[in-house]
Chains A and B, each alone.
Chain A
């Protein structure tokens, strides 16, 4: 019985660790910071995070232009 409990504790620790790692990874993706800010003629702004298609498009272009210069 004692041995079984020990194994259950170890199994619980492994599952818990896996859940924690998964949560950390998901949190990292969801918490992607805004990398693009567009300001419109009326003064309002719109931000795009790095994990959005628009954000990726802008940052791809920006990365290349920063690298090669204008």
Chain B
């Protein structure tokens, strides 16, 4: 199955992402990656190069894992990147997937991360239940 075929086919996962966006208004867009870097679900509408976004997200997650290995840690559980045009936030899911979100420059990043961590269990559950199969 290609990444594009996977996107949008997971009802539970899509619903969990929609709930997260409803809860955390500062989130501009969010997505879930599988442990192998495939895009399972995204909140974004049409017109976005999803495969490219997935590849870049996977690259960011890999960089964070590399940093973890260099520090002698098992995994990176959270990543926060403050770019000049906004924020990229990644939270590791149980089982190795990644919940990712972008937020605007003036977003309350701490709150967004808090909401992402709280949504982690529900999203991981949807992933393991095959919500995106």
Mark A residues whose CB is within 8 Å of B. 35-42, 44, 46, 48, 54, 57-59, 61-70
Name the B residues within 8 Å of A39 (CB-CB): 76-80
Instruction: Tell me whether B57 and A65 are in contact (CB under 8 A).
Output: yes
Taken together as a complex, chains A and B put the C-alpha atoms of A37 and B60 apart, in Å, by 12
Mark B residues whose CB is within 8 Å of A. 28-31, 42-44, 48-49, 52-53, 56-57, 59-60, 63-64, 67-68, 71, 73-88, 92, 100-102
Beyond A46-B67, A70-B29, whether A37 also contacts B80 by CB under 8 A is: yes
**Which 7 pairs between the two chains have the least Cβ-Cβ distance?**
A62-B88, A66-B86, A62-B81, A70-B31, A40-B73, A39-B78, A69-B29
Name the A residues within 8 Å of B73 (CB-CB): 40-42, 44
